[in-house]
Structure 1
Amino acid sequence: MDPLSQGLLGASLSQSVSNRPRFVVAGVLGLLSGLAPDIDVLIRSSHDPLLFLEFHRQFTHSLLFIPIGSLICAMLFHPLIAKKRGFSFKQSWLYCTLGYATHGLLDACTSYGTQLLWPLTNERFAWNSISVIDPLFTLPLLIVLAIALWKRSPAIARVAFLWALIYPTLGMLQRDRAERTGWQVANERNHSPVRLEAKPSFGNILVWKIIYEADGRFYIDAVRAGQKLTVYPGTNVEKLNEEKAFPWLHENSQQAKDIGRFSWFSDDFVALSEQSNQRIIDVRYSIVPNELNALWSISLSENAADNEHVTYLTHRSSSEKDRQRFYNMLFGRSQ
C-alpha cells in the first residue's frame, strides 16, 4: 500500500487507544511505525536486480517480526519524540507496536503479496481486496484523522480505523462478485480453470482484472462490479514453457535461477512477451485490466555468461488511449 495510507492507518490505531494528553504523540509514533516496515525497499543490489523482489514485504512485514520491529521503532522514536513529553518507554513501545502491526496486514489486502508468516513459510499472502493506491480508501482516512487531530478525539480516530476495516471488507465482497462472474465466463467458454483470481484495477474496487489458467494458457478479462455486472472480454496468452521458450538456457545458470525467482514472485502467472521472445512478463498487472501490457518483466540474453543475471524492466507508461479505455470501464461506458 502507498506510504500515506500506511502511516495514516498506523496513526489511527495508536490514537484510538490513547487519551487527549497523549493523542498527538501517540499518533506520531503510530504513523512513523506504520511506515517503518517499508525500510526493506533499501535492500537492493547493483549486481542482482531481483534481490529487492525477494526482500520487499518479507521479514519486516512478517507478523512474527512485529515485536522486534516495533521495539526498534520505540528505541529510535522514544528518546527523540516521546520521552521529553512524559511518556514511559513501555507506553512508546505500545503505540509503536500498534502502528507497526497494521502495516503487513494492510499490504496483504493488496494483490502484490506479503510474507506474513516468514520465516515459517515464504508464501506471499495476497487477499486481493484493495488496490495498492486507492483514493477512496485513503482520503476518508485522512479527512477523519484531521478532524480527530483538531478535536484531540480518540473516538473520532476510532471512526477512521473503522473505515480502514470496512473498505477492504467491501473490497472482499466485490472481489467475490467478480470471481463468480469470472467462473461463469470460463464455463461459457467450456473451460475448466486450474485457478482463477480477481484483482482490483488501479485505484478502485469497482473494476476487476480476471485471470484464469486453463489448458496451458492464461485468459484475461475485466469485470465491472457495479449494481450490474459487466464483462469486458480480453485476451489470452500461453503460459511460460521454459524449455520450449529457451532451449539454449543452461539449467544451472543464473538466468535459469532468476526465472524461478521471478515466477515465485509472480505466483507463477508468467508468460512470454508478445513483443520479445527473450522477455518474460508478469501477467497479473496492467493499466487496462483486460489487456496484457505488463507493468514489469525480466529480459534474458542468449549470450549471457552462466553467472550473469537477467535484466529487470518496468513498463509503467500509459497512452491516452489506454487511460481512456480504463476510464470507460470505470464509468460503465462502451468500449
Structure 2
Amino acid sequence: MDPVSQGALGAALPQSLARAEHTGLAMLCGIAGGMAPDLDVLIRSSNDPLLFLEYHRQFTHSLVFIPVGALMVGFTLWAVFGRRRAWSFRETYVFSLLGYATHALLDACTSYGTLLFWPFSDQRFAWNNVSIIDPLLTLPLIGLIILSRFRRRRWPAALGMLWVVAYLSAGVVARDAAEDVGRKIARSRGHDPLVVEAKPSFANLLLWKTIYRQGNDYFVDAVRLGREPVIYPGSTVPALDLRRDLPWLQANSLQARDVERFRWFSMGYLALDPRFPDQVMDIRYSMLPNEILPLWSIQLDKGAQGSQHVRYRVSRERGPDTFQRLWRMIRGLPLKDTPGDSPAGLGGAQLPVND
C-alpha cells in the first residue's frame, strides 16, 4: 500500500504492546519499520527498465527477511538517535521488528502482488481485498496512533489494529460478493470461466473491477455492491498471443524475455493495447474499473537489436470527467454514454443484477 498506510500500521502494532512510557519510541520505530521494505524501489537500472518490477515487493517483503530488515532499521535508529538518548537496543529492535512485520502482509492484501515466500517461491500473493490507497482505512488509524502517543496509552493503538483487521475482513467479504456478481455477468453472456477475479477500485470497497477470461478474450466490467448490485458493462480485449499479435518477435530475443518478465509481474493479465500495436498492457489497473486503458505497459521496437530491452510506459491519461464518473459509479448512479472514451468505445451503461 501507500507509505503513509504502511507507516501507520507499522506504528500501531508496537504501540499496542508497548509500556506507557515507550509509546513514542514504539511509534517512531514502528513507522520506520513499516515503511522500510519499500526502499526496494531504489533498485533500478537505466539499461533495464523492468528491473524494479522484479525487485519491488521481492526480498525486502519476504517473510524470512523480516528479522534481517528489522535489524537494519533498529540498528540505524539506535546508532543515530538511541545511544545519545539511552534507548534500549533490544526494545528498539523489537519495536522495529513488529513494525516491519506488518508491511508485507498489508501489501499482499492489494492486487499488485507480493513475494511472501521468496526465495523458496516466486509466487506473487495478491488477496485483492483493499485498494493500494484507501483513506477510509488509513485516516482513522492515523488518528488512533497519534492519540496513543499523546495519551501514552496502548488502547488507542490496539483499537487501530482492530479497525484494520475489521476493514480488511470487510474487504474479503466485499471481494467475494463482487466475484459472485462477476460470475453472474459471465453466465448472462453464456460464458463459464474458470476464474473470475474482482479488484477494488480507488479508495473504496463498494466499486470493484471484475475480470475473467473466456476463450481467447478478457472481459472487464465494474460492479457496484449494494442491496441490488449494479454493473457497468466494460470492455473486451483479446489475451496476448505472441504469434498472432507480435509475429515478428524472435523467441530468443531480449524483448521476448522482457515480455515474459512482464507476464509474471502482471500474473498473466496481458493484452496488446488496441491503440498502440507495439505496446503490451497490464489490464489489471485502470483509472475507471470498467475500462482496460492501462496505467502501465511495455513498448516493443520491431527494429530493435536482439540486445535491446523494452520500454516501460506509465500512463496517467484521463478525461476531464474521469473522477466525476468514478464518483457516480461509487454511488451507484447511471453514467452518460460518452462514445470513444475507452478502447472498446463503451461508456458504461447501468444495469441491475438480480439473483
> TM over 0.5: same fold?
yes
Instruction: Check if 1:200 corresponds to 2:200.
Output: yes
Q: Name the residue aligned to 1:102.
A: 102
Which position in structure 1 is the counterpart of 2:93?
93
Partner residue in 1 for 2:331: 331
**In structure 1, how many angstroms separate the alpha carbons of the residues matched to 2:227 and 2:61?**
36
CA RMSD across the alignment = 1.0
Q: How many residues align?
A: 335
Deviations 1:172-196 (A, max 9, x none): 1100000000011111111121321
User: What is the alpha-carbon distance in structure 1 between the residues aligned to residue 201 and residue 248 of structure 2?
Assistant: 37
**Separation of aligned partners in 2, 1:226 and 1:44:** 43
Match of 2:72 in 1: 72
TM-score using structure 2 length: 0.93
Partner of 2:231: 231
Moved more, 307-316 or 317-326: 317-326
The aligned amino acid for 2:129 is S
Asked if 2 retains the 8 angstrom alpha-carbon contact of 1:240 and 1:270, the reply is yes
Flag the structure with higher helix content. 1
Match of 2:131 in 1: 131
TM-score by length of structure 1 reads 0.98
Distance 2:81 2:194 in 1: 53
1:296–1:312 Cα contact (<8 Å) kept: yes
Conserved 8 A contact 1:25-1:81: no
- Equivalent residue number for residue 219 of structure 2: 219
Q: 1:132-178 CA distances to partner (integer Å, 9 max, x unpaired)?
A: 00010011111112222221111111111111111111111100000
**Residues 7 and 35 in structure 1, CA contact (< 8 A), matched pair in contact too:** yes
CA apart distance, 1:56: 0.2
Give the secondary structure class of the aligned counterpart of 1:320. coil
Pair 1:161 & 2:138 matched: no
The residue number in structure 2 matching 1:31 is 31
Matching residue's letter, 2:143: I
Aligned position for 2:188? 188
Rounded Cα–Cα distance in structure 1 between residues aligned with 2:205 and 2:109: 12
| Aligned residue in 2 for 1:322 | 322
Structure 2 distance, partners of 1:112, 1:81, is: 35
Distance 1:158 1:227 in 2: 32
2:64 partner SS = helix
Partner residue, 1:266: 266
For structure 1, the residue ranges without an aligned partner over 5 or more in a row are: none
- Assess if the C-alpha contact under 8 Å between 1:25 and 1:82 holds in 2: no
Distance (whole Å) between structure 2 residues aligned to residue 36 and residue 262 of structure 1: 25
After TM superposition, give the deviation of residue 320 of structure 1 in Å.
1.9
* Stretches (4+) displaced over 6 A: none
Residues 15 and 157, structure 2, Cα contact 8 Å, conserved in 1: yes
Structure 2 gaps of 5+ residues are 336-355
- Percent identity, please: 46
User: How much does 1:314 deviate?
Assistant: 0.5
